[in-house]
Amino acid sequence: MPSYFLGLDSSTQSLSSILLDLDTGEILDDRALNFDEILPHYGTTNGVLRHSDPTVVHSSPLMWADALDLLFQQMKHAGLPLGDIKAISGSGQQHGSVYMTSLAEKQIREMDIHGTLADNLARVLSRPTGPVWMDSSTSSECDEIRESLGGREGAVKATGSDVTERFTGPQIRKFSIEEPGAYKQTGHIALVSSLGSSLIAGQISPIDPGDGAGMNLMDIDALTWHSGALEATASDLRTKLPPIAASHSILGVVNPYLVMKYGLNPAAKAVVWSGDNPCSLIGTGLVKPGMTAISLGTSDTLFGAMSACKTDPRGEGHVFGSPAGGYMSLICFKNGSLAREKVKDTYGLDWDQFSASIRDTPVGNQGALMLPWFDPEIVPKVLTPGVRRQNLDAEDAPANCRAVVEAQMMSMRLHSEWMGEKPQCIYATGGASANQEILQIMADVFAAPVFRQETANGAALGAALRAAHAFKLDADGNADWEEIVSPFTKPVESSKVDPNADAAALYEEKRKEYAAFESAQLSV
């Protein structure tokens, strides 16, 4: 039987899938369904439901369930070998939550084949919509939970992150306070990932440590529910949450509903799902400590694998469980490509001219420094936007082009040092990873080689690789992560950018100046 594995990703705007052949190292199918386009009757914009209060952002679990049916219909009509799939796993947008009655377990286990997944799910929802990661309406609830856990330091030590508006715990607390009747009727609380896993497996699914860590409810050291966090969040919460289970856990075979409707292999294993960030870690090939990825997108994101649990005392970074074992870090910098583009546009340059400007200026920029906070920044926390300059003439276009990139790489290094593990190599992804000058500054600032990687649909790929790993581990008693991921996560050929030793030494000294400048501006 072929070694086919399916990975699904229920993201904010779409449901995507990757079907891979582990024996040949080939991706057999890669597809995505946009929620707004295929399910317009849910009334979403970019996959979410807006509210008169702009801080409130929800989505419908029924839409996610409907999309699963449509995706399997498409794959069946395309003639894909669904009957040969050995295992399925998935990825879900982190922090989104789903609320179901105590009848959910029986309903999911005994699905009506004549209805859709959404029809079955609709019978047991205790809340028609649920908040997603874009919701920031829980500031007061965050303050209350944080205080109960001993302040920011206590919350970080307990759960791996400061108590954060978009995280699930504060959202549950708000629901329990504002809708106590509906909360009382809630027998099961799921994440986007565990809902998907439940529908695929035909049973209430546990939550894995990767996604559980994004709730402010999990003990980051013990990888179990944290009693103090549960008590600070809502009454009887422990009875409403599923257990936490390892990312390689196999729940059994797939839901008979999927076998009968779409011809899935009845022996296919249903593997616990995880969050999109942990799955992207696997889909990028970061399965060993010291491996780091930097995504250069609208926001810049640094994430990597850690062997031990180390938390950020400033509460800027987040720590999740890694599906490959150990932990992963994640730090998000809001002023990413938009800041670079702002500098480019300010001086009327195109991207080739922007790159030429960097080449025409010396490493270190002759002491010129920038803090490119064009928008309010997440890391470090800056509420009042505005560019700050030191020894930098605002009219000097080339110097400002270099300054914005040096500043972003310096900030990433400075605010990731709490991880305690120097990157041995960096995988660069996202649109700006095609810019050689940016990658050279990255390599020099971190004193580590940089490889460019094209990871389209990385979360779904990571989910498929997780399914393969869990299947092999169950079948053979062992499974080598590097052997599994390497055929699918190789960097772009000849993309390696080595650090320049002299430049790396100069940036090592310049880092201190940058830290002092940033500190002074944050205290203003």
Q: How would you write 231-260 as a 3-class SS string?
A: HHHCCCHHHHCCCECCCCCEEEECCHHHHH
**What pLDDT score does 27 carry?**
96
DSSP for 313-350? TTS-SEEEE-TTSSEEEEEEESSSHHHHHHHHHHTT--
For residue 313, how many other CB atoms are within 10 A of its CB? 12
Q: In terms of DSSP bridges, do strands 57-59 and 49-50 run parallel, antiparallel, or are they unpaired? A: antiparallel
Helix (H) / strand (E) containing 87: strand 85-92
- Integer Cα distance of 293 and 280 in angstroms: 10
If one counts every other C-beta atom within 10 angstroms of the C-beta of residue 186, the result is: 26
Domain with CATH 3.30.420.40 in the chain: 4-279, 285-454+493-524
Q: Closest by alpha carbon to 465, among 488, 434, 440, 490?
A: 488
Query: Mean pLDDT, consecutive 10-residue segments, the chain of 524 residues?
Result: 94 95 96 97 95 94 98 98 98 97 97 97 98 93 98 97 95 98 98 98 98 98 98 98 98 98 98 95 92 89 91 92 94 91 97 97 97 92 92 97 98 93 89 93 97 85 98 96 95 93 96 96 90
How do residues 73-89 score in pLDDT, each as one tens digit? Answer: 999 999 999 999 999 99
| pLDDT score, position 454 | 79
Q: Is 430 helix (H, G, I), strand (E, B) or coil?
A: coil
Cβ neighbours for 331, distance < 8 A, ≥ 6 positions apart: 301, 302, 303, 312, 316, 317, 318, 379, 412, 415, 416
Cα separation, 231 vs 322, whole angstroms: 26
Whether a cis peptide bond, with omega within 30° of 0, leads into 380 is yes
DSSP state of 367: G
Answer yes or no: pTM beyond 0.85.
yes
pLDDT, residue 447, reads 97
Comparing C-alpha atoms, which of 460, 479, 477, 461 is closest to residue 469? 479
- What tokens were used for 377? 């920044």
Q: Which overall architecture, per CATH, does domain 285-454+493-524 show?
A: 2-Layer Sandwich (3.30)
What CA–CA distances, in Å, run from 342 to 166, 296, 354?
28, 15, 11
What tokens does 462 get? 């990571």
Which pLDDT score, from 0 to 100, does residue 524 have? Answer: 81
Give the pLDDT confidence score for residue 112 in this predicted structure. 95
Task: Single out the residue of 162, 148, 153, 143 nearest to residue 381, CA to CA.
Answer: 162
Query: C-alpha angle with apex 294: 291 to 298, nearest 5 degrees?
Result: 160
- Asked if residues 45 and 57 have their Cβ atoms less than 8 Å apart, the reply is no
Residue partners of 196: CB distance under 8 A and separation at least 6: 8, 10, 64, 68, 90, 92, 273
Beta bridge partners of 304: 292, 329
Q: Give the per-residue pLDDT at 421.
A: 81
Within a 13 Å sphere around the CA of 342, how many CA atoms are in the beta-carbon half?
15
Angle at CA of residue 308, ends 306 and 312, nearest 5°: 75
Distance, in Å, from the CA atom of 159 to the CA atom of 154, rounded to the nearest integer, reads 9
- Domain 4-279 CATH (choose: 3.30.300.30, 3.40.50.720, 3.30.420.40, 3.40.30.10): 3.30.420.40
The Cα angle at residue 302 between residues 424 and 342, in degrees rounded to 5: 125
